[in-house]
């Protein structure tokens, strides 16, 4: 804890003064453009990866960057998504998976999670991704971890579309969905091309989309 406490002190003395005006504005409200849903893994820092400042991302984190399908049972993710979309009016939603994900390892071998019953139940929301891979490849194992990570992002995007606030904004083109996978070891980010169902380099994909938009 010592380094956390000393970090707070450094923030107050060295960082905050240079950003004081921005924090004074944020003290009275927020208007983030992006809802960023990612894993709770300690190696993932959304603001660091995207080089964004406080107030720019509305961040939701959980094991496996999971979005449970909408139901009448209220949960933290459901409420947070509704607030970000219907309350704050975000215009983009990113679901970001990552390499070497412990949750995806658990989804590959749920029989090993008997002593973690809540984790096992939570990862039931990844079962669709596992089923898709099994249908494509037969039995799956650790060698399919990266593929499962990608497929999980795809399936969580599908779950996201079941949430009424999201469905309404999608129907009126007020929100865009994005699927990303972050590589911890290289810093690379791959993004989902919905047309092909493939993940491609983030920079190249968005550059190509910009060209297509400008030529339209």
The answer to whether 96 is a known ligand-binding residue is: no
CB 64 within 8 A of CB 123: yes
What pLDDT, on a 0 to 100 scale, did the predictor assign at position 204? Answer: 82
* Residue 84 resides in a domain: yes
Phi (first) and psi of residue 192, to 5 degrees:
-80, 130
What pLDDT, on a 0 to 100 scale, did the predictor assign at position 212? Answer: 43
Whether 25 shows a pLDDT value over 70: the answer reads yes
Percentage of the residues of the chain whose pLDDT score is greater than 70 = 96
* Residue 17 resides in a domain: no
pLDDT in tens, 76-130: 999 999 999 999 999 999 999 999 999 999 999 999 999 999 999 999 999 999 9
Phi (first) and psi of residue 191, to 5 degrees:
-125, 155
Average pLDDT in the 50-69 region? 97
The answer to whether 114 is a known ligand-binding residue is: no
* Residue 209 resides in a domain: no
What total of structural domains would you count in the chain?
Answer: 1
What pLDDT, on a 0 to 100 scale, did the predictor assign at position 213? Answer: 46
The answer to whether 39 is a known ligand-binding residue is: yes
The answer to whether 41 is a known ligand-binding residue is: yes
C-alpha torsion sign, points 136, 187, 184, 123: negative
* Residue 94 resides in a domain: yes
* Residue 134 resides in a domain: yes
- Please give the residue range of the domain that contains residue 82: 73-176
CATH number of the structural domain spanning residue 165:
3.40.1050.10
How far apart are the C-alpha atoms of 25 and 30, rounded to whole Å? 9
């Amino acid at each position: 804890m010592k380094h956390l406490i000393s970090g707070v002190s450094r923030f107050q003395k060295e960082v905050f003064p240079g950003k004081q005006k921005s924090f004074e504005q944020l003290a009275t409200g927020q208007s983030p453009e992006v809802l960023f849903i990612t894993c709770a893994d300690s190696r993932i820092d959304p603001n660091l990866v995207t080089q964004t400042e406080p107030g720019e991302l509305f961040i939701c984190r959980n094991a496996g960057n999971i979005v449970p399908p909408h139901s009448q049972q209220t949960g933290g993710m459901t409420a947070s998504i509704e607030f970000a979309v219907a309350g704050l009016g975000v215009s983009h939603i990113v679901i970001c998976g990552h390499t070497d994900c412990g949750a995806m390892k658990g989804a590959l071998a749920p029989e090993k999670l008997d002593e973690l019953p809540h984790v096992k139940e939570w990862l039931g929301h990844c079962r669709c991704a596992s089923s898709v891979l099994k249908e494509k490849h037969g039995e799956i194992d650790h060698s399919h971890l990266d593929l499962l990570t990608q497929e999980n992002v795809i399936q969580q995007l599908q779950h996201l579309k079941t949430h009424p606030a999201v469905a309404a904004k999608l129907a009126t083109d007020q929100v865009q969905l994005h699927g990303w996978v972050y590589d911890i070891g290289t810093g690379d980010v791959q993004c989902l091309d919905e047309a092909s169902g493939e993940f491609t380099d983030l920079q190249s994909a968005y550059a190509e989309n910009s060209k297509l938009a400008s030529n339209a």
